[in-house]
Structures are given as structure tokens and as C-alpha cells.
Amino acid sequence: MLPACLNAFGVNSGGKTSVNKSNDDAFSLPAANLSFEGRLDFNVGNSFFRNPWVMAPATTTARDGLGPLFNTNGCQNCHIRDGRGHLPQNTEDNAVSLLVRISMKPATESDWNRVRRYGVIPHPVYGDQIQDFAIPGVEPEAQLAIDYEYHDVPLAGGEVIRLRKPILTFTQLAYGPLGDDVSQSLRIAPPMIGLGLLEALSEEQVMQLADPEDRDGDGISGRGNK
């Protein structure tokens, strides 16, 4: 999808893949130059993305296997219409389109090597992600509550804007305390658009562009996530 101001000048930020739509489904469309066979694959994948998963055993064998713990029962519940999720507006609002990654804080060089390779050190009980839903008969790991701190920030032109900082609280931890040596990270579900373009690149092409030590000095230290 492109803003109307760009479409008016014939600008296609995605080249031949660009789709000229600005309605609620603009992020849910296949690339404009996708082949007929590719569109069939897209539609099958999109049906899995949109429809909910269910507990096993079930009458459907294609969408069963939900749980016992989970964050939501459908991809699109988080990636709303294939777009970005959102923070809850207050403590009463649901937090379905965000998740909380957790990690033990590294204490040794071995821990740091693990963080550099995998990004996290899983908690011995809760793993690396809090799952706040569960199938019947199973306790969710925890409930999430988001509140906000508000900060007024003056700008150079004399204007004042108000920013908010989310404050996360866990309640009803079902399997024991997390402990004090745990890091937490709120994650908002990202938009899905553009992932097909990344998928079109081979692993070899991605790894050729990796530059974890920023040897070319461009300020970007990209690392392949294998």
C-alpha cells in the first residue's frame, strides 16, 4: 500500500510488487506481480493466518494442536489485518497483540556467548516468553497489566508534547515467582508486509550482507539470524 500523495506521482516503493490500495485490507493483499500458482499458495497461507487454531483432538486435523499454553489462538489476533499490533489503552484493555519476552540476566562469559548467539537465556520455568492463555484445565503462566507514566517533553520550537512510558506488571504468576535476575521486553506484533520480499532472498545473499563487526564503517552491524 502507498500513500495517496506518492501514488499521484506514480511512485511504487515496492516496484512491480506494489498494490494501489488504501482500505482496511491494504496490508493483506498478495504482491501485484505474483503468479497464479503463487496466489494459490498465498491464499492457503492466508487462510491459516486468519482462522483460529483449536485444541486436539478435533474434527479438523489441519488446525488442531492449540496449547496447552499460548498467547492467542490465531495469527491475525496479534498482527491485526496483517498490520501492526497495539498496546492496550489502559489496565482494563486486553494485551492480545503484544507479548513479553523474558531472559535470565547473563552472569558469565558463557551466558554472554549464549545471548549473542540466541538472544536470550530462557527462564528455567517460564522459558523465554510469557504465555497468558491456556486450554481448559491448565493455568496460564500469568496475566499482564499495562499502565503508563506520562512525561511532558519541550521541543525546540516551544511546543510541548506528552510521551507515555508503558509499565508492565505480572499478576497471577501460576508457576512460581520469576525472580529478580530476569530481564523483560515488551514486543508489539509487527506488520507482515514486505516479508515476501525478504523470503525471496536466499540465505546465501543474506549472509553475504552480514557485517556483525561493522567492518565497512557504515554504522550498521547486521547479523544473520540462523
Asked whether 80 and 90 are in contact (CB, 8 A), the reply is no
Residue 39 and residue 30 in contact, taking contact as beta carbons nearer than 8 Å = yes
What are the φ/ψ torsions at residue 15 (nearest 5 degrees)? Answer: 60, -135
Query: How does pLDDT run along the chain (226 residues), one tens digit per residue?
Result: 545 545 544 577 778 888 888 888 888 888 888 899 999 999 999 999 999 999 988 888 888 999 999 999 999 999 989 999 988 887 777 788 889 999 999 999 999 999 988 889 999 999 999 999 999 999 999 998 888 999 999 999 999 999 999 999 998 999 999 999 999 999 999 998 888 778 788 899 988 888 888 889 998 888 887 6
Return d(Cα 212, Cα 201) in angstroms, integer: 19
Measuring CA to CA, how many Å separate 103 from each of 24, 72, 114, 120, 221?
36, 21, 11, 5, 23
CA atoms within a 13 Å half-sphere pointing along the CA-CB vector of 116: 9
Cα–Cα distance, 155 to 72 (Å, whole number): 40
